[in-house]
Amino acid sequence: MQRLRDRVAVITGAAGGIGLATARRFAEEGAKVVCADVDEEGGAKIAEEVGGLFVRTDVTSEDDVAALFQAAFETYGSVDVAFNNAGISPPDDDSILTTGMDAWRRVQDVNLTSVYLCCKHAIPYMRRQGKGSIINTASFVAVMGSATSQISYTASKGGVLAMSRELGVQFAREGIRVNALCPGPVNTPLLQELFAKDPERAQRRLVHIPLGRFAEASEIAAAVAFLASDDASFITGAEFLVDGGISGAYVTPL
Ligand SMILES: NC(=O)c1ccc[n+]([C@@H]2O[C@H](COP(=O)([O-])OP(=O)(O)OC[C@H]3O[C@@H](n4cnc5c(N)ncnc54)[C@H](O)[C@@H]3O)[C@@H](O)[C@H]2O)c1
Q: For the chain, what are the domain ranges?
A: 8-185+216-241
Tell me what pLDDT residue 229 has. 98
Kindly give the interhelix angle for 151-170 and 101-108, rounded to the nearest 10 degrees.
Answer: 30
Contacts 24+ apart (CB under 8 A), 199-204: 204/148
Domain 8-185+216-241 has CATH 3.40.50.720: yes
Alpha carbon of 37 to ligand 1 centroid (Å): 10
| Alpha-carbon separation of residue 235 from 134, 165, 175, 179, 221 (angstroms) | 11, 11, 11, 8, 17
Closest-CA residue, ligand 1 atom 17, reads 17
Which pLDDT does position 175 carry in this prediction?
A: 98
3-state SS, residue 198: coil
Q: Classify residue 30 as exposed, middle or buried by CB count within 10 Å of its CB (0-12, 13-18, 19+).
A: middle
Residue 65: count other Cβ atoms within 10 Å of its Cβ: 27
Question: Would you say 57 and 36 are in contact if contact means Cβ atoms under 8 Å apart?
Answer: yes
Query: Ligand 1: which residue has its CA nearest to atom 32?
Result: 58
How much is the pLDDT for 202? 86
**Whole-prediction pTM value?**
0.98
The pLDDT tens digits along the chain (254 residues) read 899 999 999 999 999 999 999 999 999 999 999 999 999 999 999 999 999 999 999 999 999 999 999 999 999 999 999 999 999 999 999 999 999 999 999 999 999 999 999 999 999 999 999 999 999 999 999 999 999 999 999 999 999 999 999 999 999 999 999 999 999 999 988 788 878 788 888 888 999 999 999 999 999 999 999 999 999 999 999 999 999 999 999 999 98
Evaluate whether 30 touches 2 at the Cβ level (below 8 Å). Answer: yes
110 CA from centroid of ligand 1 (Å): 9
**Residue-level length of the chain:** 254
**Spatial distance between the Cα atoms of 170 and 176, rounded to a whole number of angstroms:** 9
